[in-house]
Amino acid sequence: MLNRTVQHVLLFFIRVTSHHAFSLQLVPVSFAVVLALCCYILWRFYFQSRPPTNLKGYNVLITGGSSGIGLSLAELFYLSDANVTLLARDQNKLISAQEKLHASGRRGCQVRTLSVDLCAEFQPLKNQLEEYILSTGPVDILVHCAGYAVSRTFLDTTPDTIEGLIKTNYLSAVNVTKILLPHMLSDRTRSSRDRRISFVCSMAGQVGVYGFAAYSASKYALRGFAEVLRMELEHSGPLITLAFPPDTDTPGLAAENVGKPSATLEISSAGGLATPEQAAYTIFRDILDGAFNSSYGFEGKALSWATAGLALPVSIRDIHQDNIFKIILSSIAEVLVAGPLRAVGIGYAFWMRRVVSRHMGKNVRSSG
């Protein structure tokens, strides 16, 4: 079965091109989109690899693992026979999350908790994590889920808020990776190419949105770090995954929505809302598959294509191991849809500005 969104796109172009006035102008565009969709379908059903689901003996560490997407990911790894360590600041939340995993009835796997302040100075953080490694062994899969959002216009954002977002959303991932990566590379019990590092970013790390001046900056920084790390580790491993989940129904989103500008609320709601389990499953699958880009749904994949810039084809896993036909099909598909997606992107940019203008007008009238 084709993705329902793909079907809608095809039907749209069939209807539009059936009108004589537009048919000649849209024939090249229609041909490009249909061919790109064919390449996408071939890639998905014939060249997409199937990740392993048994992780017995793997050590998985998840920052921000006590709630939200992090906890849902922990459940998936635990049910795949991995030993899971949940890292967060709040000890009570960690105990509650640990009990939830144990309640799944899985036997033979360990669930550890580690209460850590990820915004602490580097050396105390290093001492704590290296003590943890001595007792458990090196981390095989490192997932950075720790993070939060504050939505305000730039002038309404305090310097402390900006610093807190940069420390939690960006520097914490950099510091933990700096500490754990040497052990992941030096340990010989498992090939480093079988190890993984994942960064849970955001769609706000792909496109700047009104009201997210500080948050988007922290996520763009995380994205840039992940892209460079991928290039540096491409020949040795671990494989890097950069995830762009949509708005997800978590306690973090509820806190984020308090005080969020009305224009930001309307723009954000256009992307839909995923459950933590839905978002986590996509990330989990892509981590195991070694995919660099992890996007949720067809819309998320389209946004990744539209914002790829000078990156490798979004859909490929590993240029040193991927099927050459998969790389070719992915490249052709992205080149063909680049033009149409640029047109959609321009339209979306104008729509966001129209939303902002409308809400600013309402604010002016209400204050007057």
pLDDT at 37: 58
Residue linked to tokens 């793997």: 58
Contacts of 83 (CB under 8 A, 6+ apart): 57, 58, 59, 60, 109, 110, 111, 112, 136
Of the candidate ranges 275-279, 336-340, 345-349, 354-358, the one whose mean pLDDT is the lowest: 336-340
Alpha-carbon distances, residue 253 vs 87, 173, 188, 343 (angstroms): 20, 20, 40, 30
DSSP per-residue string spanning 289-328: HT-SEEE-HHHHHHHHHHT-TTSSPTT-S-TTTS-HHHHH
Average pLDDT over residues 217-237: 95
Structure confidence at residue 367 as a pLDDT band (50, 70, 90): low
d(CA 241, CA 181): 15
- List the structure tokens of 131: 């003590």
What CA–CA distance (Å, rounded) separates 218 from 281? 24
Nearest Cα neighbor of 225 from 172, 165, 261 is: 172
| 145/349 Cα distance (integer angstroms) | 29
Domains of the chain: residue spans and CATH: 59-315+326-345 (3.40.50.720)
The burial class, CB within 10 Å (0-12 / 13-18 / 19+), for 258 is exposed
Residues in a beta bridge with 63: 87, 144
pLDDT digits (tens, 9 = 90+) for 152-204: 999 999 999 999 999 999 999 999 999 999 999 998 888 888 999 999 999 99
Predicted local confidence at residue 16, as pLDDT: 44
Nearest in space to 283 (alpha carbons), one of 66, 58, 50, 73? 73
Cα–Cα distance, 164 to 161 (Å, whole number) = 5
2-28 average pLDDT score: 47
As given in the structure block, the two tokens for residue 335 are 């080149």
Dihedral sign computed on CA atoms, order 161, 167, 173, 176: negative
User: 119-128, pLDDT tens digit by residue?
Assistant: 999 999 999 9
Q: What's the CA gap between 340 and 306, in Å, rounded?
A: 9
Q: What pLDDT digit, counting tens, does each position of 93-104 carry?
A: 999 999 999 998
Q: Band the pLDDT of 329: cuts 50, 70, 90.
A: confident
Tens of pLDDT, residues 56-114: 999 999 999 999 999 999 999 999 999 999 999 999 999 999 999 999 877 778 999 99
Please tell me the distance from the alpha carbon of residue 5 to that of residue 297, in angstroms, as a whole number. Answer: 9
Strand order in the sheet with 141-144: 111-115, 83-88, 59-63, 141-144, 196-200, 239-244, 293-295
